Chains A and B, each alone.
Chain A
Amino acid sequence: MPRAKIYGFIALLVSTALAGLFFYHSFYGPIAGGIFSSLLADNAYYAVAVPLGFLVLIILGTGFWIGWTILTIKVAPPMPEIVEKKDYAKPKAFLLCLVTLALLALFAYGVYLKSYWALALPAAVFTIVVLGMVFWVGLAIITTRATLPADKK
């Protein structure tokens, strides 16, 4: 079997298994055990925390990577004649790295404590961004002329 197909099968199996685990622990588990008693049970909590954690990691990782790149990139200095302002990009990049690391640590600590807010805040940010974009598109559709301009003859 070609290697690509093997990877394809692995991807199918892993994603199906993970989806099954997620739905079981997020929905079936809490409902079967009484939703109020086990809402914060380990499995139910981590079923949401792990995928959300990946998302947080990607977003904060991107922020850190941007800061790190600005901080460490080695380039020739600009021609002195065109430099007008003092360059504060590096201190700001350092701050960005610190902030992203601090947020990541805070998230990890929150997850360790099984804090509701550790999940709710990043989920809220993600939801607001996606819904905000859909809202933006919706607004653009509403405010766009619905028909093509009449042919002037």
Chain B
Amino acid sequence: MKICLLSYRGNPYCGGQGVYLMYVARELVKMGHEVHAIVGPPYPFEMEGVTLHRISNHNYFNITKNYIKPHKPFATLQPLNFYEFVASKLGIFPEIETFSFRAFLKLKELVKEHRFDIIHDNQCLGYGFLLIKLLGIPFVSTLHHPLTVDRSTWFEYPSDFSLRMKRVLYYPLIMQKIVTNRMDHIITVSHDAKREIHEAFGTPLNKQSVVYNGLDSSIFHPIPGVKKIKNSVIFVGNVEDRKKGVSYILRAISLTRNRVHLNIVDGGAPNRRFVPHWIDKFGINDRITFMGKVTNEKLVELYNRSEIALSPSLYEGFGFPAAEAMACELPVIASTAGALPEVVGKHMETAMVVPPRDPQAIADAIDFLVENPAKREEIGKAARKRVLAAFTWENAAKEMVKVYEEVIRAYR
């Protein structure tokens, strides 16, 4: 099969989109398919067997100074770039929309040479995709979760009127809804995400297929001989992402009977606005360490040195950090929100499951695990077993190919 993947951000070290692209592309190549990938910046590194087609953007949303390139001073005045510039200044996030139009222009060139059997987007869903549909090639998209979730969890936190206005403008919900319902098929990563997409966008359930994400167990594994640090707890995730429920974690740390230390791996989040303030407020400065941006090797080491992992999110379409910790034989305290129960499994067997938004329940779960090392070990071992059995990229790619075949058959 000749497959064209689209990803508006391609680098696996800069976000989930790149990780998804890298593993899906790699497994599809292993299965003998011809894979092309149209990617936006930050670009992925070269992948064996994958033909990369890089398309640019100016990233005016994040780059507020020195955005004029000396060798191309008038580039900002070109129509798409100018739109990107104006939209960014008005607080609209234009990256995915402009990527979709640029991807269309690139695809229009590519289809002269390549006869793709299917195009597979990764959660971009910009208006340009309506043009791609006119190319007459089956077109599917992976939607990890609808952005309505991000918006509503963001609104749960106290903020002022102007910030809320910016947030309403920021999330391209209308575009995502319109484009989602015009795709040939939607692949999603959990049954909960499927239901959520149906509720948010009205996308029929039979137009969606669940293909669980995989996990690279060759990277995430227990390291023999690594000594655990007593009472150490780890949280991996962007602390400014309101879905992660960080305020509840910090409150929980202040409520535990046992004095635990929390290591936060947030990729060196550049905009930590609220979290330091909350840490001060709860008086837990000496119990929190920000680990910044770490390599995968360091992350695995941190998992292995920790006794407990926290993932009490308000919503997760899948929940990579929980699965990663489980693969490292770490007991995870997860919430019942979103797809987390699908990923972590049963309470007291493969994880500790608590209600979302309940700091006391998180604190109690931490205390229970701190005080019961045997149970910690038992849950950790069962957790790894579960992850290895249920979530592999090889399975994900096989399931994906089945979806491709069905979509292509229906298209003809």
Report which A residues bind B (CB closer than 8 A).
4, 62, 65-66, 69-70, 73-79, 81-85, 87-89, 92-93, 96, 129-130, 133-134, 136-137, 140-141, 144-148
Pair A81/B281 contact, Cβ less than 8 Å: yes
**Given A79-B251, A133-B89, residue A141 in contact with residue B158 (CB < 8 A):** no
Known: A79-B251, A146-B70. 15 other contacts (CB 8 A): A65-B168, A75-B152, A81-B251, A82-B158, A82-B278, A85-B158, A87-B158, A89-B159, A133-B82, A134-B77, A140-B68, A141-B74, A144-B66, A144-B70, A145-B70
Query: Are A144 and B161 CB-contacts (below 8 A) given A82-B278, A133-B82, A137-B85?
Result: no
Q: Is B109 an interface residue (CB 8 A)?
A: no
Q: How many A-B residue pairs have CB under 8 A?
A: 88
Provide the B73-99 mask, 1 if CB < 8 A to any CB of A, else 0.
Answer: 110110000100110010000000000
Please determine whether A83 and B158 come into contact, CB atoms closer than 8 angstroms.
yes
- Tell me which residues across on chain A come within 8 A of B248, comparing CB atoms: 79
Chain B residues with Cβ under 8 A from A145's Cβ?
70
Given A4-B134, A70-B165, A140-B67, check contact A78 B77 (CB 8 Å).
no
Name the contact of B160 in the complex, choosing from A4, A89, A148 (C-beta under 8 A): A89
**Would you call B359 an interface residue if the criterion is a C-beta within 8 Å of the partner chain's C-beta atoms?**
yes
Partner of B156 from the list A78, A85, A137, A147 (CB cut-off 8 Å) is A78
B45 at the interface (CB under 8 A from A): no
Contacts of A85 in B (CB 8 A): 158, 160
The secondary-structure label for the interface of chain B is helix
What is the 8 Å Cβ interface bit string for chain B, positions 122-155, against chain A (1 contact, 0 not)? 0000000000011000000000000000011101
Contact call B73/A141, Cβ cutoff below 8 A: yes
- B-to-A contact residues, CB < 8 Å: 66-68, 70-71, 73-74, 76-77, 82, 85-86, 89, 133-134, 151-153, 155-161, 164-165, 168-169, 247-248, 251, 274, 278, 281-282, 314, 357, 359
A81 — which chain B residues lie within 8 A by C-beta?
247, 251, 281-282
Name the residue on A nearest B174 (C-beta): A65
Q: Which of B77, B158, B161, B278 contacts A137 (CB 8 A)?
A: B77
- Give Cα distance in the complex from A92 to B168, angstroms: 14
| Nearest-CB residue, chain A, relative to B151 | A73
User: Out of B77, B134, B164, B281, which one reaches A82, CB within 8 Å?
Assistant: B281
- Residues from chain B with Cβ under 8 Å of A96 in the complex: 165
Per the bound structure, the CA–CA distance linking A94 and B139 in Å amounts to 41
Nearest first, the 3 A-B pairs at minimum CB distance are: A144-B68, A92-B161, A89-B161
- In Å, the complex CA distance between A70 and B85 comes to 26
